[in-house]
């Protein structure tokens, strides 16, 4: 699980039935330096995240990736590579 920040929303011209009731968000994973408040402008790649929790822009989230991202939907199959597992109110290091 990684911590990321929501930086945008993905808009679809056609929606898969499996995605109804949720949004796709664009998130940027954060490194430890960024979590500590330092400027680490190296940047990671952005990810498209399946979001059922309603995260807004600049919200920090906990995201799971890969096979773990699809586990909340078992036994259904959803084409998901990253899943918003939690909205984070406060992070203490």
Of 84, 72, 90, the C-alpha closest to 26 is: 84
Q: What are phi and psi of 65, to 5 degrees?
A: -130, 165
DSSP 11: -
Whole-model pTM: value is 0.81
CB 3 within 8 A of CB 93: no
**Percent of the chain's residues with pLDDT above 70:** 92
Position 41 pLDDT exceeds 70: no
Of 26, 21, 23, 24, the C-alpha closest to 7 is: 26
Position 68 pLDDT exceeds 90: no
Q: Which domains does the chain have, with CATH numbers?
A: 2-88 (2.40.50.220)
- Kindly report the average pLDDT of the chain as a whole number: 84
pLDDT of residue 25: 92
SS (H, E, C) 16-70: CHHHCCCEEEEEEECCHHHHCCCCCCCCCCCEEEEECCCCCCCCEEEEEECHHHH
pLDDT tens sequence across 50-65: 898 999 999 999 999 8
């Amino acid at each position: 699980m990684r911590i990321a920040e929501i930086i945008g929303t993905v808009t679809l011209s056609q929606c898969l039935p499996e995605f109804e009731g949720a949004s796709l968000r664009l998130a940027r994973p954060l490194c430890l330096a960024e979590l500590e408040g330092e400027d680490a402008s190296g940047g990671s790649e952005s990810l498209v995240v399946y979001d059922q929790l309603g995260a807004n822009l600049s919200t920090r989230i906990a995201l799971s990736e890969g096979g773990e991202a699809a586990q909340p939907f078992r036994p259904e199959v959803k084409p998901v590579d990253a899943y918003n597992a939690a909205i984070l109110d406060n992070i203490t290091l």
